[in-house]
Structure 1
C-alpha cells in the first residue's frame, strides 16, 4: 500500500461526502480543527472524540433519541408517541431480547446465504467470464432481498422491485438532510415522508398477519406490538438494512481496490474479518448520530443543559485511527462505533459484517484482483454512497 494509493482512496471518500451532502461535508471539515467537544451556534454540541461519543451513547439517563435533536424524534413525528415510548421504554429492550436470535453470527450467515447466495454465485460467474458488473446496483438489490427475507415479506420479486424500495428509502432518508439544526419536520415534509412510508411498507400488513415466528414481523405479532408500531419498525429496518448496508458494502469494496490491499487479502484470506472491520470503520455509513440532552450533565468539563442538542460526528471519531489498513489491529477506542453504542447498538451488526464479507468473497472468487473501471457518487443523499461502481476482473 503506497502513499499514492492511500491518498487516492481518501479523495474518493471525500468526493462521496461532498456529492452526497455538502452541509455535512462542511461540518466534518470544520470539526477536524476543533477540540473533542465544542458548542456550535444553531447546531448544539458537537463531539469528535470516540471515547466521549461512546460515553454519550451509553448514558441513557441524560441523553435520549426521542427528544428534539435525537434521531428518534424524526420517527416519532412519522409514527406517533408510541414510537417515542418505544425508543426509550421497556418494549425496546423486550423486542431486542425477543429478536436477538435472528441476528446472531450463525443466523446472519444463514440469512445472507438464503437471501443472497444464488445472486452472489451468479455475480462471481459473470466477473470470472470477464463481464463488467455494477457492484453498487448489485448491493442495493441484495440488501433489499435480505431485508424482505428478515421481515417476512415476499423475497421472490424481480430485481427492479428492490431497486424501487431502495430508491424510496433514499427519498425518505433525504428528507432528513435539513434536520442538522432542528429535527422538527415542516408539515409539507411530513406529508411527503408519510407518503413514502406507505410505499415502503406495502405488504407489511399482510406479513404481520401471516409471517412465521422466525421473522421480525412474526415476532412483532407475537408480542402484540400493533400495526402502527410494527410499520415504524419495518421502515426503520428498511432504511438501516438497505441504505447503510449497501453503502458500507460498496465503499469497502472500493477502499480495498483503491489502496491495492485486495492483493494482500487474496494472499491471506484470514485477513477478511480485518478488511470488513476496517471498511466499516473508514466508511462509517452513519456519519452523524444525534441525541437530545434530557438532563443537565457534564461531558469533558463542559456543562450541557436539558433541552440542548448534541451531534456525535462518528465519521471523524472512527477515522481518527488512520487510513484503511486491513493489517490494522483492533482499535479499542473506536470499537464498533460505526454501529452506534449502548442499548441502541445496531442489532444487525453481525448481518452487516456478513454482507460485506460475502461481497468481498464474491469479488475475489476468481483468485485475481478486480479493477474499478468507473464510479459515480450519489448526489443529495443522507447516507454517502456510490450510485455506480463498475468493476471487472482483467484476464
Structure 2
C-alpha cells in the first residue's frame, strides 16, 4: 500500500474503527447486496446513480435517509422542501446562488485575506496547520452565509462557528442502523439550530441582495425555509469541506503530485476533482425504499433501507492521479446525484482551489512536518496537518 492510501485508511479508521472494514468489504457488494442490520448495500457507481436519480421508488425522507433525521429537528416542513413538491421549487429558486462564478467571488471576499496571511506566514519560514486553517475558512464562510455576528474577526471566533456546526452534525453519529433520534438528542439539536439561526430572520429582512440570505428574500424563499437552507448548508458544508481541503493537501504531498501541479498549474481543477474523489468526505449516503422495485436483479421492498458506499464506488478506479481521465460512471458522485446533488458543490470546489493556489503561489514545495487524525467523528478528517516550505 502506498503512503497516500495508508494515511487515507488511517483517517477513516480514526473516525470510526469499523469504517475501513465496511468500505473495503463493500467492494464485494457490487452491484447491490443485502446485509443484516444495514439493509441493501451498494458500491457500484452506476447502480448508486440509478437509485439517487429515482425519486419514484427511493426517498431520503424515510428511515435511513438524512431527511428523516433532520425532519425530527427542523420540523415537518422538511418533508415538503427536502423531497416533496417544494424541493424542485427551492432548488430552482436558489440555483443561481451557487454558480461557479458566485462561489469563487464568495470565497475571494470571505477568506481571501486569511489565505493571503497564511501564504505570507509560509513564505516567511513559518509553519501552518492546514487542518485548522481549513476549519477557520469554513467557519468564515458559514458565518457569512448565516449572517452570524462574531465577537471578533479572529481565528478563534470562526473556530467556534465551525465547532458549533460540527456539534450539530455529530448528532448523526450512530445512525448507521437507524435514523430515529432520541428525544434528548432532538432537544439538543434544536437548541443548537436556534443558536446558529438566531440572526437569520433579522438579516433576511435587511441583507444586501448579493448575500445568501438577501438573495433568498429577493427570490421569494420563505424565511423559515431560508433558515432551514442555511442550517443544512452549515451541517453539510462544515466538516465535509474542511475534510476535503486538508486531505487533498495531504494527497498532493504523499503522492508527489504537488511538483507536477506546480509545473502545470492549469491542472488545478483536476487536482480538486481527484482530491474530492479519493477523499469522498461523506463516505455513505442513505436512502429509504418508497415503493417496491427491482434493482440489478434484486427485489427491494417499500420500507427497506439502502446504504450507498460512495467512498468505495469512487476509489475503486485507483488512487490519486492528475492523469486520471474523466470517469463517466462516477462523475460527481462524491456530491451525490440527481435532484439532491449538493447545492454547495461549487463553493467546496472554490474553497479547495483557493487553498491549493495559496500553497502553489509560494513558489516552493511544501512538506508535512506533523499530522494527526480526528477521532470518533462523523466525517473522517485530519485533526492537525502542519506544513512548511522546503528549504
TM-score bucket of the superposed structures, by smaller chain: over 0.9
Residue 143 of structure 1: which of 138, 145, 149 is its match? 138
Deviation of the 1:158 alpha carbon = 2.6
Q: TM-score, normalised by structure 1?
A: 0.95
Residue 301 of structure 1: which of 297, 309, 313 is its match? 297
Alignment of 1:118 with 2:113, yes or no, is yes
**What are the equivalent positions in structure 2 for 1:216-255 lying under 5 Å apart?**
216-222=212-218, 225-255=221-251
The aligned residue for residue 10 of structure 2 is 15
CA–CA separation in structure 1 for the residues paired with 2:153 and 2:289: 43
Alignment of 1:87 with 2:87, yes or no, is no
CA contact (8 A) 2:29 2:42 kept: no
- CA distances 1:97-128 after superposition (whole Å, capped 9, x unpaired): 22222211111111111011111111111101
CA contact (8 A) 1:152 1:212 kept: no
- CA distances 1:191-215 after superposition (whole Å, capped 9, x unpaired): 2222222233242232222222222
The aligned residue for residue 316 of structure 1 is 312
Deviation of the 1:177 alpha carbon = 1.5
| Runs of at least 4 residues off by over 6 Å | none
The aligned residue for residue 103 of structure 1 is 98
**What are the equivalent positions in structure 2 for 1:241-390 lying under 5 Å apart?**
241-390=237-386
- CA distances 1:76-97 after superposition (whole Å, capped 9, x unpaired): 0001110111111232222222
CA–CA separation in structure 2 for the residues paired with 1:347 and 1:336: 12
SS at match of 1:212: coil
CA–CA separation in structure 1 for the residues paired with 2:239 and 2:283: 13
Structure 1 pair 268/222, CA: closer, same or farther in 2 (3 Å)?
A: closer
CA–CA separation in structure 2 for the residues paired with 1:273 and 1:227: 35
Unmatched 5+ stretches in structure 1: 1-5
Alignment of 1:168 with 2:164, yes or no, is yes
Deviation of the 1:254 alpha carbon = 0.5
SS at match of 2:307: strand
The aligned residue for residue 58 of structure 2 is 63
Deviation of the 1:225 alpha carbon = 4.8
Which stretch of the first structure deviates more once superposed, 80-89 or 335-344?
80-89
Deviation of the 1:154 alpha carbon = 4.8
Q: TM-score, normalised by structure 2?
A: 0.95
- CA distances 1:253-305 after superposition (whole Å, capped 9, x unpaired): 00000111100111111111111100000000111110111001111000100
CA–CA separation in structure 2 for the residues paired with 1:129 and 1:229: 46
CA–CA separation in structure 2 for the residues paired with 1:24 and 1:206: 42
CA–CA separation in structure 1 for the residues paired with 2:375 and 2:45: 28
**What are the equivalent positions in structure 2 for 1:159-238 lying under 5 Å apart?**
159-222=155-218, 225-238=221-234
- CA distances 1:181-239 after superposition (whole Å, capped 9, x unpaired): 11000112212222222233242232222222222222443455544433322111112
CA–CA separation in structure 2 for the residues paired with 1:133 and 1:123: 7
CA–CA separation in structure 1 for the residues paired with 2:19 and 2:227: 29
C-alpha RMSD of matched pairs (Å): 1.6
CA–CA separation in structure 1 for the residues paired with 2:212 and 2:90: 9
Unmatched 5+ stretches in structure 2: none
CA–CA separation in structure 2 for the residues paired with 1:78 and 1:227: 17
Deviation of the 1:247 alpha carbon = 0.8
SS at match of 2:303: coil
Alignment of 1:43 with 2:38, yes or no, is yes
CA contact (8 A) 2:24 2:312 kept: no
CA contact (8 A) 2:57 2:292 kept: yes
The aligned residue for residue 24 of structure 2 is 29
Which stretch of the first structure deviates more once superposed, 203-212 or 376-385?
203-212
Q: How many residues align?
A: 390
CA contact (8 A) 2:147 2:199 kept: no
